[in-house]
Amino acid sequence: MQTYKAPTRDIRFCLETMGYDQVAGLPNFEDYDLDTLMSIIEEAGKFCANEMLACNGTADQEGVHYNPETMEVTTPKGFKELWAKFRENEFAAMPHPQEYGGHGAPFSLAFVMSELSTATNKSFSMCPGLTQGLVDALLHHGSDSQKEVYLKPLISCEYTGTMCLTEPQCGTDLGLLTTKAEPIEGKEDAYSITGTKIWITFGEHDLTENIVHLVLARLPGAPEGIKGISTFIVPKILQNGERNPIFCGGLEHKMGIHASPTCVMNLEGAEGYLVGEPNKGMKVMFTMMNAARLSVGIEGVALSEISYQTALAFAKDRTQMRALDPAKRDPNAKADNILVHPDVRRMLLNIKASTEGMRALSNWIAVNIDVAENHTDEKIRQEANDLVALFTPIVKSYCTERGFWNVSEAMQVCGGSGYTTDWCIEQYLRDVRIAMIYEGTNHIQALDLIGRKLPSKGGRAMMTFNQKITDFIRDNKEDERMAPFVNPVKEASKILTDLTMNTLMAKAAKDPEEGGAIASNYLNVFALTSIGYLLGMQAKVALDREGKFYSTKLKTVRFYMDNILPEIHSLVAIMKSGKANMMAFEVDEF
């Protein structure tokens, strides 16, 4: 059973409490006050619930087809029609500049919309998601003529984009890549590119005529490692109409996202054009990758949400066993609705509270991207930029890991039915699992957090964040109603600070292996604490308002504080032994 209603009420509250007023007040975005934003989101939600979801399950079952003779890929039934509607709606054009056919809307809007589209059709949504990344890369690093040629058709969904990084011998470690780019004699700025790329999402498909690949490769004589990587645009169809020799050599067979073609791409002297400076390709890639990492984080939120709604629909429908409390038993029935059982509620609330928390966290960072890029005050821009950098790996890693747990918990609510294809959760579980791996595995995010983001600029971002928590605690310590929300955050924040100062700074700075050993758990403590703080901020607002949404929000935040935030205690206890036990094993002792 496919069921979904866009969680617009919670999204509105998130935007409101996570600082969207700062964005709406900017000159760039005077057309995008919160009401306007929400009316667009409502419409997008309907489109997703009606159109995107309709072919989500069938597309998963059908999968994608590869023809080895033509090296062409056919997408599942319904995708071409959906693409046409998606294009007509200008769903993908929202956040891009008006001069290239975009709507000039805030990134926050695109980000929220990506939750809705991912929830209802993750495979399909990956194609515009990657295209958006390519648009960003070209806006930041493309030459004027590259922008002229490619941006409009990419923004209008006439073309789609890909990101070609991985090769058989290098995934995490891009420094090992060997694809070669050699200048083409007689053609200025054009290169002949040869190599094999793997795991290329929508590397080949039948949704559009043209596909524009962003390809990492090495120029002749380039330095070894990541300092010798350059970035190239490689279109499937050249401007003169010729077919560029970049062909799909086959598809991967995967646990999920069956409707998203994961291609082996063979470049056989394909013509490409340098983007940005020679050997500075990683800079271009990181522009794509940072936004992509946030979007992958939202995948965890999106699949949690639809799984929650599905499990709740199941629970409301199913009667089984009697209520433990005799007073709650229906005297006219032989069994009670399973929502009477504390454990069913426990599982549902684990999903609900963490999903709302992750939505607050990820939307907070999305809002800060808009602030960082558009605010008129430099200091505010800088602070927002610091927070975006610090939290991008946290959003990517925590939301995808928790998202996977959440979908599994939703399956458990549905019992045997959850394991069958009938309730679709099994697809969501298969689809969400990849998010912990791609765009940098979750541990790579944790290393990014401790190795790059935390120490950057003398730890300025962490100090900014700490100050916010300190302010929150100070501002609310007199308010007794806030005690159940302030005290747990205060305790967690103390633990996080202690970990950061006395474990990370003290031990890991001296011995990088100590850092590597605790990084993943440290990231989770960071995530749990910051979500606690953000939900605490939401509780503060909810306390002064009336209505069911706000009273429920207070209960949900309370559940988070008492039933989820305490997960930090075990993480901290586990980190105590550091690297010792892990490094004690010889290779042949595993």
What residues numbered 402-461 form the site for a second copy, per CB under 8 A? 404, 408, 411-412, 415-416, 418-422, 426, 429-430, 433-434, 436-438, 441-443, 446-447
From 123-131, 136-144, 287-295, 319-327, give the range in contact with a second copy by CB under 8 A.
319-327
Binding-site member from 23, 282, 473, 571 for a second copy (CB under 8 A): 571
Q: Min. distance of Cβ 578 from a second copy in angstroms?
A: 9
Backbone angles phi, psi at 558, to 5 degrees: -60, -45
Q: Min. distance of Cβ 222 from a second copy in angstroms?
A: 14
Contacts (CB under 8 A) with a second copy, residues 514-543: 515-517, 519-520
Residue number, 356 or 383, with CB nearest to a second copy: 356
569 binds a second copy (CB under 8 A): yes
Q: What is the 3-state secondary structure (H, E, C) of 25-59?
A: CCHHHCCCCHHHHHHHHHHHHHHHHHHHHHHHHHH
Q: How far is CA 230 from the centre of its chain?
A: 26
Contacts (CB under 8 A) with a second copy, residues 149-188: 166, 170-173, 175-176
Q: Are 101 and 284 in contact (CB under 8 A)?
A: no
Binding-site member from 138, 157, 296, 349 for a second copy (CB under 8 A): 349
Q: Min. distance of Cβ 402 from a second copy in angstroms?
A: 13
Q: Min. distance of Cβ 342 from a second copy in angstroms?
A: 4
Greatest pairwise CA separation for the chain in angstroms: 87
From 17-25, 281-289, 388-396, 580-588, give the range in contact with a second copy by CB under 8 A.
580-588
Backbone angles phi, psi at 478, to 5 degrees: -85, -15
Backbone angles phi, psi at 328, to 5 degrees: -95, 5
Binding-site member from 483, 494, 513, 545 for a second copy (CB under 8 A): 513
Residue number, 275 or 315, with CB nearest to a second copy: 315
Q: Min. distance of Cβ 32 from a second copy in angstroms?
A: 31
Binding-site member from 80, 345, 468, 507 for a second copy (CB under 8 A): 345
Write out the H or E segment, with its range, that includes residue 152: helix 152-155
7 binds a second copy (CB under 8 A): no
Cα–Cα distance for residue pair 360/15, rounded to 1 Å: 8
587 binds a second copy (CB under 8 A): yes
The alpha carbon dihedral of 485, 305, 409, 393 has a sign of: negative
Record the tokens describing residue 336, joined without a space. Answer: 């009670």
Residue number, 69 or 224, with CB nearest to a second copy: 224
Cα–Cα distance for residue pair 19/8, rounded to 1 Å: 17
Contacts of 1 (CB under 8 A, 6+ apart): 310, 313, 314, 422, 423, 424
Instruction: Give the contact letters, 51-90, x = binds to a second copy (CB under 8 A), - = no.
Output: ----------------------------------------
Cα–Cα distances in Å, from 352 out to 103, 281, 345, 404, 560?
A: 33, 41, 10, 14, 9
Residue 432 CB coordination number (10 Å) = 27
From 78-86, 265-273, 318-326, 390-398, give the range in contact with a second copy by CB under 8 A.
318-326
Contacts (CB under 8 A) with a second copy, residues 544-563: 548, 551-552, 555, 558-559, 562-563
Cα–Cα distance for residue pair 480/495, rounded to 1 Å: 23
Q: Min. distance of Cβ 94 from a second copy in angstroms?
A: 30
Q: Are 162 and 235 in contact (CB under 8 A)?
A: no
Contacts (CB under 8 A) with a second copy, residues 475-504: none
Backbone angles phi, psi at 213, to 5 degrees: -100, 135
Cα–Cα distance for residue pair 190/194, rounded to 1 Å: 13
Instruction: Give the contact letters, 359-398, x = binds to a second copy (CB under 8 A), - = no.
Output: ----------------------------------------
Residue number, 1 or 321, with CB nearest to a second copy: 321
Record the tokens describing residue 231, joined without a space. Answer: 């970035």
Write the Ramachandran bin of 334: left for phi over 0, alpha for psi from -120 to 50, otherwise beta: alpha
First to last CA, the chain: 44
Q: Min. distance of Cβ 583 from a second copy in angstroms?
A: 7
Residues carrying an active site annotation: 439
Residue number, 46 or 322, with CB nearest to a second copy: 322
Binding-site member from 250, 278, 459, 512 for a second copy (CB under 8 A): 512
Q: Min. distance of Cβ 411 from a second copy in angstroms?
A: 7
Contacts (CB under 8 A) with a second copy, residues 215-274: 224-225, 252-256
